[in-house]
Amino acid sequence: MMRLRFCPQRQYVLHMTTNLRHIRQHFLWVLLYRIALETQQKAQRNKLFKRRNFGYCVFMDSQGKLQKSSGDCSSSLNVSVLTASGSAAIASVAVWGQGADTLLSRLFSRTVPPCGQLAYGQLRDGQKLIDSIVLACERPDCYVVHCHGNPLLTEQIVRLCQRHGGRLTSSEAYFYEHVQAECQSQIELEARMAMTQAATLEGVELLAGQIEAGLSAWARNWLKAAAIETKQIHKDCEEILRRSEPAKQLVKGVRIGLLGPPNSGKSTLLNRLAAEHTALVSEMAGTTRDWVSTACRIGPLRAEMVDTAGLDATLSNALDTAAQQAALEVAWSCDLILYLWPCVPSQRDDRGLEIARPVLTVYTKGDLLADAERFSPDSPQPWVLVSAHTGHGMEALCGAILKLLKIDSLKADLPICFTERQKKHLETILAVDSERLIRNELASLIAARQRPVHGMRGCRPCRTEQNR
pLDDT per 10-residue tile (average), the chain, 468 residues: 36 36 44 55 45 40 46 73 88 94 95 94 94 93 94 94 93 86 89 92 95 95 95 97 95 92 84 67 48 87 88 65 74 90 66 74 87 80 89 92 93 94 96 95 78 35 47
**DSSP single-letter state for residue 113:** P
Residue 159 phi/psi, 5° resolution?
-65, -35
Q: Which ranges in 65-164 belong to alpha helices (H)?
A: 100-107, 151-163
User: Domains of the chain (ranges plus CATH)?
Assistant: 21-182+459-466 (3.30.1360.120), 186-446 (3.40.50.300)
Q: Considering only CA atoms, which of 267, 268, 304 is closest in space to residue 401?
A: 304
Q: Which residues of 71-127 form beta strands (DSSP E)?
A: 78-81, 90-96, 118-125
pTM over cut 0.75: no
Non-local (6+) Cβ contacts of 196 within 8 A are 171, 172, 175
**Which amino acid is located at 136 in the chain?**
A
Beta bridge partners of 94: 80, 144
C-beta of residue 175 within 8 angstroms of C-beta of residue 73 = no
pLDDT at 347: 55
C-beta of residue 338 within 8 angstroms of C-beta of residue 365 = no
Q: How far apart are CA 352 and CA 359, in angstroms?
A: 13
pLDDT at 407: 94
Q: Which ranges in 213-229 belong to alpha helices (H)?
A: 214-224
Q: How far apart are CA 16 and CA 453, in angstroms?
A: 45
pLDDT at 445: 94
